[in-house]
Amino acid sequence: MPVASARTLLAWYDRHRRRLPWRAENGARPDPYAVWLSEIMLQQTTVKAVAPYYERFLSHWPTVSDLGSVMLEDVLKLWAGLGYYARARNLHACARTILEKHDGVFPDTEEGLLALPGIGPYTAAAIAAIAFDRKASPVDGNIERVISRLFAVAEALPAAKPRIKALAAALTPENRPGDFAQAMMDLGATICSPKKPACSLCPWNEPCVARKRGEQESFPRKTPKAEGKLRRGAAFVVTRADGALLVRTRPDKGLLAKMTEVPTTEWSHGFDEKNALAQAPLKAKWHRVAGVVNHVFTHFPLELAVYRAQVPKGTRAPKGARWMSFDKINGAAFPNVMRKVIAHALDGKR
């Protein structure tokens, strides 16, 4: 039976490598900052969604020292809309650490990288391999799919992760490990896709066990995820006659920490909308906006009833809240769920 060869995959990569904003040109030395920034942004997010955010971050903060010198609020504002906001907080903390403890220079080993905030085993391996050409074996979703099909790994994810990692490490060559990691990522993204993989174009067509069995789409095996239970709540969109919106900052810890939001009730499984207005941020003539706003977080879906009110110019913000002029909303650190709420409440009202 043919054996999967790193040389075969690298030859394919040299012909078909994707052009990505953060990827160094062939033969050029990768920028560790670009590699790190892209890898953090790409966690649970698509290349298409990340590209414009990556470009904006680089234009604002061209180096890790630049990023580490700004306030977290500025980072959250630029990140707003990309989701999974803990990544932005970790990004800022990591940049600060590199600036303050490493003189603005990234550690060049997996061990050194793992000691930094927000960098786990996958990200450390990816940066070590791609930026520093260390023999490391990052395994993302694309690589999991390639390896599980190549070897027909019968065990289901996530239990199969250690075996997949070991198989990927055994394939990783001493020469060009960074290119090899990116080649496997590209193979999974462009050829070995979740549905209808283009096996006839794959450089590992012959040694692929799943293809020989005709079972490509049944790998990787996955343990069904338990669906999170629906949470519900109410959101309050208050506008002032002089053109301002009532907002507040979420707590320092927990879901959407330190992001900007309109006032809301708690989000709970047992929410009773009959009691919603008792939790309104101030006294006003409230109007229940038809419909609800739906949003899905990683661990649960959310449904929000939306109430709208307008108050006179000069109305003071309640404790813990503040007024924000409408011309600052687009640049504020609102998560997507809050942008949905504001749009739902104000559509056609301004």
Q: What is the pLDDT of residues 30-67, one digit of tens each?
A: 999 999 999 999 998 899 999 999 999 999 999 999 99
Is the pLDDT at 304 greater than 70? The verdict is yes
* CA–CA gap between residue 65 and residue 55 (Å, rounded): 17
158 upstream amide cis, omega within 30 of 0: yes
* CA–CA gap between residue 202 and residue 208 (Å, rounded): 9
**Of the candidates 238, 247, 262, the residue with the CA atom closest to the CA atom of residue 311:** 238
Structure tokens at 81: 């809309």
**Of the candidates 305, 289, 311, 306, the residue with the CA atom closest to the CA atom of residue 244:** 311
213 lies in the same domain as 292: no
Mean pLDDT, range 101-106, rounded to an integer = 95
Number of domains making up the chain: 2
> Would you say 265 and 234 are in contact if contact means Cβ atoms under 8 Å apart?
yes
Using CA atoms in the order 118, 122, 127, 133, what is the torsion angle rounded to 10 degrees?
A: 160
293 lies in the same domain as 212: no
Is the pLDDT at 348 greater than 70? The verdict is no
Query: Mind listing the pLDDT tens digit for each residue in 141-192?
Result: 999 999 999 999 999 999 999 999 999 999 999 999 999 999 999 999 999 9
> Would you say 235 and 307 are in contact if contact means Cβ atoms under 8 Å apart?
yes
Query: Mind listing the pLDDT tens digit for each residue in 196-207?
Result: 999 999 999 999
CATH code, domain with 273: 3.90.79.10
Q: What is the mean pLDDT of the chain?
A: 93
Kindly list the catalytic residues: 39
Residue 178 lies in a domain: yes
105 lies in the same domain as 190: yes
DSSP conformational letter for 350 = -
* CA–CA gap between residue 240 and residue 262 (Å, rounded): 13
The domain boundary residue, chosen from 158, 189, 218: 218
pLDDT value of residue 331: 83
Residue 315 lies in a domain: yes
* CA–CA gap between residue 139 and residue 142 (Å, rounded): 8
The domain boundary residue, chosen from 218, 250, 283: 218
pLDDT value of residue 350: 43
pTM of the prediction? 0.79
Residue 226 lies in a domain: no
Residue 332 lies in a domain: yes
CA angle in degrees (0–180, nearest 5) for 143-63-85: 55
* CA–CA gap between residue 319 and residue 245 (Å, rounded): 15
pLDDT band at 349 (very low <50, low <70, confident <90, very high): low
Mean pLDDT, range 130-138, rounded to an integer = 96
Is the pLDDT at 2 greater than 80? The verdict is no
> Would you say 74 and 102 are in contact if contact means Cβ atoms under 8 Å apart?
no
159 lies in the same domain as 292: no
Residue 317 lies in a domain: yes
308 lies in the same domain as 214: no
Query: Mind listing the pLDDT tens digit for each residue in 248-294?
Result: 999 988 889 889 999 999 999 999 999 999 999 999 999 999 999 99
213 lies in the same domain as 237: no
Residue 138 lies in a domain: yes
Residue 263 lies in a domain: yes
Domain that holds residue 79: 6-218
187 lies in the same domain as 247: no
264 lies in the same domain as 212: no
User: How far, CA to CA in Å, does 185 sit from each of 48, 197, 265, 321?
Assistant: 15, 14, 42, 45
211 lies in the same domain as 235: no
* CA–CA gap between residue 224 and residue 157 (Å, rounded): 9
* DSSP assignment string, 216-228: GGG-S-BPPPPPP
CATH code, domain with 214: 1.10.340.30
